[in-house]
Amino acid sequence: MKKSLIALAVLAASGAAMAQSSVTVFGVVDEAVTYVNGADNWNGINSGGNATSRIGFRGVEDLGGGLKANFWLEAGILADSGSGQSGGASGSGLEFKRRSTVGLEGGFGEVRLGRDLTEAYKATSRYDVFGQVGLGVSRLWADANAVALTNQRVSNMITYVSPNISGFKAAVNYGFGEVAGENRDSRYVGAGLTYDNGPLSLGLSGERSNRGANSNLTRDVTAWALGGSYDLGVVKLSAAYRDSSAKIVSGDKNKAKGYYLGLSAPVGAAGEVKASYNRYEGEIAGADKHKADQFALGYVHNLSKRTAVYGTYAYIKNKDDGALGQTLGTAATLKDNGSQHGLQVGIRHAF
């Protein structure tokens, strides 16, 4: 009883702050000094070397009877300049382009409406030891070749996520194309299946995004991916494969595929070392064929659960530095031999 009296006093005393318990303000500010070697060397400050800089507002409300409502609004930030980062696009005002959803969850699983990462993307990209950011990022899911593009995030989606059944979870997305008079145009359909049990984790994903009569570029982009990891304790091994293709106007297909291998290992109480290898292969129908190999090595030193300093080294080597040549940084260009290496050292703080 005394405890509840105190609790009441707390409620009385903290007023507005308690009223705030329905919303959590969260985010990350991550910036790194970056150097990229190439035909034109580049150095500067990059936002998000270890985790994407962001700010968000989220909450969960218990509706009783096992039912919960939730919302999630999350905006990307280019912390080096203070601009918003709108789902990849840079330089604009703050937008909740990383996630903007409302949902209901219960024994049946979860139903969500809005913009989010696709379940296909989430099911397999989670095996990237570099967390899909920074110089070491695996671009299997980014499709840097842009020959068979699928979006990591899609607007106007209905999402269903199943409950966890013996470690298995299935999730599907349907993204409306919202083109009047056309149900298929710009539509997105995808699914992710995951299995997580002890040291073993597996993910499988498939997706199709339609571009109808309104598009003169590509239509019916199809992609699938497979990934997994196994935690041996001293080291955690991970691997993934992704394949995507796009029917173009001529009827031919552009193709992209990629292989990923990664490992991460704890170093002492606060450190983590990680390494990855990526192979990218792309083909523009009847035109260009291309291969690139990427190696990355990283170290993260955790100063607390929320704060870390980190360093990342990455090297890329293109077998063909033509139109499909891949670079480590957007502002830098490849050397004559098609290679490039980069280094970044930064601070990541989560709140």
Give me the residues paired with residue 241 across strands: 226, 259
Of residues 9-28, which lie at the interface with a copy of itself (CB under 8 A)?
9-27
Helix, coil or strand: residue 18: helix
Q: Which stretch binds a copy of itself (CB under 8 A): 31-39, 163-171, 188-196, 222-230?
A: 31-39
Alpha-carbon span 309 to 318, nearest angstrom: 30
SS3 string of 241-254? EEEEEEEECCCCEE
Nearest distance, CB of residue 255 and a copy of itself, angstroms = 30
Establish if 67 lies at the interface with a copy of itself (CB under 8 A).
Answer: yes
Residue 267 phi, psi (nearest 5): -125, 105
Q: Which of 66, 69, 88, 213 binds a copy of itself (CB under 8 A)?
A: 69
Q: Which residues, other chains included, contact 12 with Cβ-Cβ below 8 Å and sequence gap of 6+?
A: none
Q: How far apart, in Å, do the first and last CA atoms of the chain sit?
A: 34
Q: Which of 88, 90, 102, 319 binds a copy of itself (CB under 8 A)?
A: 102
Tokens matching residue 162: 């199943």
Q: Which of 161, 296, 332, 334 binds a copy of itself (CB under 8 A)?
A: 332
Do the Cβ atoms of 134 and 122 come closer than 8 Å? no
Nearest distance, CB of residue 184 and a copy of itself, angstroms = 12
Alpha-carbon span 244 to 225, nearest angstrom: 9
Q: Which stretch binds a copy of itself (CB under 8 A): 178-186, 197-205, 277-285, 317-325?
A: 178-186
Tokens matching residue 269: 């109480």
Establish if 339 lies at the interface with a copy of itself (CB under 8 A).
Answer: no
Which residue number, 55 or 223, has a Cβ lying nearer to a copy of itself? 55
Nearest distance, CB of residue 165 and a copy of itself, angstroms = 25
Residue 316, amino acid: I
Q: Which of 37, 51, 52, 73 binds a copy of itself (CB under 8 A)?
A: 73
Of residues 305-324, which lie at the interface with a copy of itself (CB under 8 A)?
306-307, 309
Nearest distance, CB of residue 80 and a copy of itself, angstroms = 5
The backbone region for 319, taken as left when phi is positive above 0, alpha when psi lies in -120 to 50, beta otherwise, is: alpha
Q: Which of 51, 52, 97, 129 binds a copy of itself (CB under 8 A)?
A: 97
Question: Binding marks (x or -) toward a copy of itself, 184..223, rule CB under 8 A?
Answer: ----------------------------------------
Give me the residues paired with residue 58 across strands: 24, 72
* Site size toward a copy of itself, by CB under 8 A: 94
Q: Which of 51, 75, 135, 140 binds a copy of itself (CB under 8 A)?
A: 75
Residue 10, amino acid: V
CB atoms closer than 10 angstroms to residue 199:
12
The residue to which tokens 């290992």 are assigned = 265
Q: Which stretch binds a copy of itself (CB under 8 A): 125-133, 205-213, 236-244, 341-349?
A: 341-349
Q: Which of 37, 51, 52, 86 binds a copy of itself (CB under 8 A)?
A: 86
Nearest distance, CB of residue 120 and a copy of itself, angstroms = 19
Give which of 333, 325, 329 is closest to 343, Cα–Cα.
329
Tokens matching residue 232: 């041996």
Of residues 106-165, which lie at the interface with a copy of itself (CB under 8 A)?
113-115, 155-158
